[in-house]
Amino acid sequence: MSASDIAIKVENLSKCYQIYDRPQDRLLQMLVRGRKQYYREFWALKDVSFEIKKGETFGIIGRNGSGKSTLLQILAGTLSQTSGEVKVNGRIAALLELGSGFNPEFTGKENVLLNGRILGLSPKEIESRYDQIVEFADIGEFINQPVKTYSSGMFVRLAFAVQAHIDASIVIIDEALAVGDIFFRQKCYARLEQLRNSGAAILLVSHAMPEVEQFCKQAILLDHGMQRFIGSSSEAAKHYYLLHQPQARGVSKPAAESTVSQASVVSIPITERPSLEAFIDISNKAQVTNGQARCIGVALCNIAGEPCKSFRQGDTAVFYYEFELAEYIGIPICGLTIINDKGVIVHGKNSWQSEANVLASYGDGSKVVCRQEISLDIAPSEYTFQVGLAYVSEDCWNNRKTISHEEEASKVTRVCHVPQVGLFSVRTSLRDGINFLMHHGVANLQGKITISTVPKPSN
């Protein structure tokens, strides 16, 4: 890859702040000129390195305080680093804070003119793009009102509209799009896609992992200023989830008899285990795990139990996957996700979301086995799938019908995830021996169409 193909190159980037316990310590530090240290060092970033190519979407993820905003400020040139090197090739448009660069006393129009000049546009360039900016922001007559009267949504509309129309080769967005409604977000992503297709590099900071997985090709995970992972956005998201949960440790076995309903206890009969030909070679597949379990087998079959990787629309695919435990866990949750050729998650479902039977407990050396049937009511295309294992406590499982999605997500411990473990294709269905497209779009939503005619009224 030539240097001209690189939009941003970061090498061993670090940022250190000096933390003083008392205001007078800052003065003492100036007087002693380094002979004594009156401060504590806080490394907001430490030895971070990555490259972003032109035309690439790149995600930056991590919890609050991980160093994301510090990194963006250094890239945007509003903050200097302590050590390391940053090479930026092109004009940057950075939407780091809501309304940054806007004067609340000025009208929207005046702020467009001011912000455009700050971003390096000439008066003539601003004038030629003004109508496009106003149309994109879609705030109506408020463009002539002071921005201090704007709602947060109107504020970000105008701020993004300016940034999106300066022909930047690098666009940096820090959580700003979370403020807008769905229609505005769709418009923003369509505009970002146009910029990306024109060769612009896009950096997106978000706490919404589905957004990062769908929009970004690559991502970096930061934790306490350290670079923990860099790679595909889907794998980065899995590392993000595993990183911010309790460290791998055994779950205490229940002293009393399990309270999980015995009606839900089931084991997959050995006769249902697919033939060896159906199993996928996962010896070289990367596994994201906390050490409590590992995936030891994945198979894909048709409804007859035969090995299959090519289906027709509406066929039932049977996914079989198993994990070997290194220690005792709580109630297991198995799940599978299907992703299309554009990186969009088409379907994902786990045993918490279904009426799946579970065993009360699993111990060291035992296996968790899942057989999952899915009707492939999806568009003809190629797909990859990924499997995973997590667990919750028995108390959480027994009360699952009264627990919200947000509460459930906070109680789940993710154990093992295997991305891109397998591949399959879906073709058009057959109707009377002729290829028949069952629907348009990514999925076939169940519904009914009724058509009636109304006769023309007589005179």
Measured between its terminal Cα atoms, the distance across the chain in Å is 76
Say if residue 311's pLDDT is above 70.
Answer: yes
3-state SS, residue 388: strand
Task: Give residue 267's pLDDT band: very low, low, confident or very high (50, 70, 90).
Answer: very low
Phi and psi angles of residue 36, each rounded to the nearest 5 degrees, phi first: -145, 150
pLDDT at 1: 60
Q: Which of 92-96, 130-134, 428-432 has the lowest mean pLDDT?
A: 92-96
279 in Cβ contact with 297 (< 8 Å)? yes
pLDDT at 254: 43
pLDDT, tens only, 363-411: 677 899 999 999 999 999 889 999 999 999 888 888 888 888 878 888 8
Q: Which of 13-22, 185-194, 317-326 has the lowest mean pLDDT?
A: 185-194
Q: Please tell me the distance from the alpha carbon of residue 49 to that of residue 70, in angstroms, as a whole number.
A: 14
Q: Please tell me the distance from the alpha carbon of residue 5 to that of residue 52, in angstroms, as a whole number.
A: 9
- Count of other CB atoms within 10 angstroms of residue 144: 11
Q: Where are the domains of the chain?
A: 3-240, 264-436
3-state helix, strand, coil in the chain (%, to 5): 30, 35, 35
- Count of other CB atoms within 10 angstroms of residue 283: 5
**Tokens matching residue 106:** 């000025």
Q: Which CATH architecture has domain 264-436?
A: Distorted Sandwich (2.70)
115 in Cβ contact with 99 (< 8 Å)? no
- Count of other CB atoms within 10 angstroms of residue 194: 11
Beta strands 201-205 and 293-302, pairing class: unpaired
Task: Give residue 43's pLDDT band: very low, low, confident or very high (50, 70, 90).
Answer: very high
In this structure, what DSSP letter does residue 362 have?
A: B
Say if residue 34's pLDDT is above 90.
Answer: no
Q: What percent of the chain has pLDDT over 70?
A: 90
Say if residue 248's pLDDT is above 50.
Answer: no
**CA proximity to 329, closest of 292, 359, 294, 367:** 292
**Tokens matching residue 448:** 């009914």
pLDDT at 315: 95
79 in Cβ contact with 94 (< 8 Å)? no
Rounded to the nearest angstrom, the gap between the alpha carbon of residue 112 and the centroid of all alpha carbons in its chain is 32
Say if residue 256's pLDDT is above 80.
Answer: no
Task: Give residue 359's pLDDT band: very low, low, confident or very high (50, 70, 90).
Answer: low
CA distances from 60 to 57, 172, 211 (A): 10, 10, 12
Mean pLDDT of the chain: 85
What are 172's strand-pairing partners? Answer: 94, 203
142 in Cβ contact with 108 (< 8 Å)? yes
pLDDT at 227: 95
Single pTM value for the model: 0.68
193 in Cβ contact with 224 (< 8 Å)? no
What is the maximum alpha-carbon separation in the chain? 104
- What is the per-residue DSSP string for 53-93? ETT-EEEEE--TTSSHHHHHHHHHTSS--SEEEEEE-S-EE
Just give the CATH number of 3-240: 3.40.50.300
